[in-house]
Amino acid sequence: MAERFDVVVVGAGPAGSAAALVAARSGLSVLLLERGPFPGAKNMFGGVVYCRILDTLVPNWWTEAPVQRWVTRRQTMVLADGQALTVDFRNQNWGSEPYNGATAYRAEFDAWLASKAEEAGATLVCSTTATGLLTSESGRVHGVRTDRPDGEVEASVVIACDGVNSFLAKEAGLYPNWSADHYTVGVKEVLALPSAAIEERCGLGGDEGMDIEILGGTGGVPGGGFFYTNRDTVAVGVVLSVAGLRDSGRRPEEIIADLKAHPAIAPLVRGGELVEFTAHTIPEAGLAGMPRTVGDGILVAGDAAHLCLAAGIWLEGVNFAIGSGAFAAETAVEAIRAGDTSARGLAGYRRRMANSFVLADHKKLRHAPHLILGERAQTRYPRLICQLAEQVFTITNPDPKLGVRRWARRAMRDSGVRLHELAKDAWTGWRSFG
Amino acid sequence: MTEASPFVAAALKHVAVRARVDPLTGEESPETWGASDADLAALEWALRLGERWSMPVLAITVGPSPAETVLGTAAAAGASHLVRVEMAGDAPSRSVATALAAALAAYPGGPVVVCCGDASPDRGSGSVPAFLAHELGATGALGLVGIEPGERGVLAATRRLDRGRRERLRVTALAGAPAVLSVEAAGVRLRRAALPAVLAARDAPVEVIPGPASRSEPEARVRTVRRGPYRPRAKVLPAPAAADPRARIRALAGGRAERRTPQALALDPEQAADHLLAYLRETGYLS
Ligand SMILES: Cc1cc2nc3c(=O)[nH]c(=O)nc-3n(C[C@H](O)[C@H](O)[C@H](O)COP(=O)(O)OP(=O)(O)OC[C@H]3O[C@@H](n4cnc5c(N)ncnc54)[C@H](O)[C@@H]3O)c2cc1C
């Protein structure tokens, strides 16, 4: 006879562990399945977690979470050939309680969060892949099949937290509009450097960290770059549109090599020894790529529900995963107690997400992915911004200064930007970010 | 296990199976703990012997409580009895063997065969099985790559010798005159545990036996006087065929060797699959 749990959570990433934690705390029997040998074993990200969402789940999480550095310096960098314009913001308040963002290693962070779920009573089983859903004739999900012998598990609710490209959500028919164009591929190198060198190069003290989000610098392939500091490593990487990468005929490691050679990045990574090279897809289409997140007996959370927020200056997925995982579990608890785990009984999930940052941010920023991955934002605007900066800061004596209006006109001409396009994008940007 | 039923034992060490090495300082910090591949192979052989001879399988480990993780793995795979000898994790080989032998000998029924991994990945010397055989007064067959169970208490074993040779051994073992087998991580993989067994293993009872009071190394006639730094084993390479010594050196060093430059191809999925298959055939991975 198949094993039985109130809730089966598939995937012990941030979404799954948060879901398991909340469901187990409510007294339900919870099975948390992870295909890797331990939670986090198979996971990667750029490197910054924004844990405000953990305040209620794990009070004082900062005293125990495995953090590399507390981010006190954030930069947004626009790169063009041999040029960079950087907005640099430093905030020492982020270096003390209750903190803002922290760099972390997924192998450590995910394992820690999963241990919290276990402490709450969830049963974590690793090295076990959910290979499919158990469904009734009416299509109602009532458990999962795993790759272990006698590996079927019955559950009142399955929470699919199996990450980007969720096979379970697809099998449940929740992804009718799935398209490869909704995804980017993130590729990163982790380079070892002495912590003193990292601190000196980035102007950091003790356990402070820096985070740079980069626009441009991807060799014309739509995407962006990032640079994060850990204790004694730095992460440098790119996020590239899958279709753009294919069309470019280039390899991601070449693009990272070019990024590392850019004069704005080279001094930061000089002498770093490669200790890790990883790649992972990212659901980057925002609201446009989102599946249905509720089915009969099933809820979908985190990247599996396409909830990663990738909007230029923000690349946030872990907090969205934790938030949605927790909401999915709250909904499952409520539905199981009410004895209705049909899609209707689970409908509160969507409502919970809509009333929080999880869907509200996505709604607000729904036009951002298209804008940011567009050709103009990728190549022409970085060129425009850098050329404008070049003109402003180049002293052309004995010629007098032209003034911003004429500099702007010249920079627009040279970078191929048209005024009406700029106005249109500015309006879209304002509606998204404003 | 009935009161006095002889058993097959698997001795497992809880060890850092992967360590993070700081590329700057060379400092190591353990990352993933568990049983080594050789220990898992030993467990699989023990389970096969137990099945074939209708004997229960006892998994035993020496160490502090986190070592019970490896017993959980054994329980999920089918070990019916779990024993942990309470001792520090870094106890010397001789003390570990003494503690193991005392626990096994005292266990009702007594061991017929004890399977161990040949050497643990934390730069273990591989001496525990030999010490254990000595302490138990057992037959020792060490460094095995294959075991074929025969009739109850009889087995054929294959041992790897230097220069690619193999040696076939016939081992007989009885309760009271057991055999200690150490196996390489070769030939078998631990079976995949069924999900109910994995879940049940979480609550499987572990008998905890106190280890010997003193941790000091027993009086030995051979003592380690000095230990040199770790050097990976030299790998024997076939001599390059070229007549010219410079060409031979170049071949050994890999200089000017012909390399295929990486290609990026934009193909539809079917063509891509054909291309991959062709490449695998060409490079000998597929025949
Ligand atoms: C290059 C890159 C940079 C990023 N940078 C950041 C950043 O700086 N900050 C940030 O907040 N976010 C970042 N993200 C996004 C973030 O990593 C994800 O949004 C987040 O990890 C989603 O969490 P999740 O739990 O939904 O999925 P995942 O973290 O992908 O976890 C899914 C889990 O499910 C397991 N699994 C999958 N299938 C199965 C199965 N069938 N059976 C059992 N287990 C299964 C996997 O092994 C994994 O453990 C980045 C992502 C990438 C790729």
Given CB atoms, is B23 within the 8 Å cutoff of chain A? Answer: yes
**How do A123-125 and A30-33 pair as beta strands?**
parallel
Distance A14 CA to ligand 1 centre (A): 7
- Quote the distance between the C-alpha of residue A336 and its chain's center: 31
Query: DSSP state, A77?
Result: E
Q: What is the topology classification, in CATH, of domain B7-210? A: Rossmann fold (3.40.50)
pLDDT by residue for chain B (287 residues), tens digit each?
A: 545 799 999 999 999 887 777 666 667 777 778 999 999 999 999 999 999 999 999 999 999 999 999 999 999 999 999 999 999 888 888 899 999 999 999 999 999 999 999 988 877 788 999 999 999 999 999 999 999 999 999 999 999 988 888 999 999 998 889 999 999 998 899 999 999 999 999 999 999 999 887 655 556 677 778 877 777 777 777 778 888 888 888 887 776 666 666 677 889 999 999 999 998 888 778 87
Find the CB nearest A149 among B31, B192, B202.
B192
Contact A14, A318 (CB under 8 A): yes
Given CB atoms, is B268 within the 8 Å cutoff of chain A? Answer: no
Query: DSSP state, A309?
Result: E
CB-based contact A149 B194, cutoff 8 Å: yes
From chain B, the residues in CB contact with A66 under 8 A are none
B209 DSSP β-pair partners: B85
**Domain residue limits, chain B:** 7-210
CB-based contact A153 B192, cutoff 8 Å: no
Instruction: Please give the pLDDT value at position B240.
Output: 83
Pocket test for ligand 1, best of A17, A228, A315, A358 (most atoms within 8 A of CB): A315
Number of other CB atoms surrounding residue A403 within 10 Å: 8
CA–CA separation, B189 and A128 (whole Å): 16
CB-based contact B262 A251, cutoff 8 Å: yes
CB-based contact B195 A251, cutoff 8 Å: no
Q: Environment class of residue B192 by beta-carbon count within 10 Å: exposed (0-12), middle (13-18) or buried (19+)? A: middle
**How do A69-80 and A208-215 pair as beta strands?**
parallel
From chain A, the residues in CB contact with B199 under 8 A are 3, 123, 125
Extract the residue ranges of chain A whose pLDDT is less than 50: none
Instruction: Please give the pLDDT value at position A17.
Output: 98
CB-based contact A153 B195, cutoff 8 Å: yes
Residue with tokens 């004082």, as numbered in its chain:
A60
Nearest CA to ligand 1 atom 12: A317
Our CA-based measurement puts residue A3 at a distance from the nearest CA of chain B, in whole angstroms, of 7
CA–CA separation, B88 and B123 (whole Å): 17
- At position A182, the amino acid (one-letter code) is H
* Residue of A4, A42, A125 to mutate for B, most B C-beta atoms under 10 A: A125
B28's CB contacts (< 8 A; 6+ apart) are: B19, B20, B21, B22
Distance A239 CA to ligand 1 centre (A): 14
Nearest CA to ligand 1 atom 18: A317
- pLDDT tens track for A279-298: 999 998 889 899 999 999 99
Ligand 1 pocket (Cβ < 6 Å) reads: A 10-16, 33-36, 42-43, 45-49, 129-130, 161-163, 186, 188, 237, 239, 280, 282, 302-304, 308, 315-319, 321
Residue with tokens 């549109």, as numbered in its chain:
A241
Letter string b/e over residues B162-178, b meaning 16 or more CB atoms within 10 A of that residue's CB: eeeeeeeeebebebeeb
- At position A401, the amino acid (one-letter code) is K
From chain A, the residues in CB contact with B203 under 8 A are none
A-side interface with B, Cβ within 8 Å?
Answer: 3, 37-38, 107, 123, 125, 128, 146-153, 192-194, 232, 246-247, 249-251, 273, 275
CB-based contact B195 A149, cutoff 8 Å: yes
Instruction: Please give the pLDDT value at position A8.
Output: 98
Given CB atoms, is B234 within the 8 Å cutoff of chain A? Answer: no
Alpha helical stretches, state H, chain B = 37-53, 68-77, 93-106, 128-136, 195-201, 245-253, 269-282
From chain B, the residues in CB contact with A37 under 8 A are 32, 34
A13's CB contacts (< 8 A; 6+ apart) are: A39, A40, A43, A110, A161, A163, A302, A303, A321
Alpha helical stretches, state H, A160-263 = 167-171, 195-202, 242-248, 252-261
Instruction: Please give the pLDDT value at position B25.
Output: 66
- The token pair that represents B152 in the structure block: 């109850």
* Residue of B195, B202, B261 to mutate for A, most A C-beta atoms under 10 A: B195
From chain A, the residues in CB contact with B32 under 8 A are 37-38
Percent of chain B with pLDDT over 90: 59
- pLDDT tens track for A72-98: 999 999 999 999 999 999 999 999 999
| Geometric angle at alpha carbon B119, from B114 and B125, rounded to 5° | 115
Nearest CA to ligand 1 atom 30: A163
B140's CB contacts (< 8 A; 6+ apart) are: B129, B130, B133, B134, B179, B180, B182
Instruction: Please give the pLDDT value at position A230.
Output: 97
| The dihedral sign for the CA sequence B188, B194, B195, B200 | negative
Nearest CA to ligand 1 atom 16: A317
- pLDDT tens track for B233-267: 777 777 788 888 888 888 877 766 666 666 778 89
Interchain CB contacts (distance < 8 Å): A and B: 50
Contact A229, A204 (CB under 8 A): yes
Helix/strand/coil for B262: coil
CA–CA separation, A75 and A72 (whole Å): 10
CB-based contact B196 A146, cutoff 8 Å: no
Atom nearest to A11 CA in ligand 1: 34
CA–CA separation, B109 and B7 (whole Å): 7
CA–CA separation, A129 and A356 (whole Å): 31
Nearest-by-CA chain B residue for A191 = B23
Instruction: Please give the pLDDT value at position B265.
Output: 82
Distance A39 CA to ligand 1 centre (A): 11
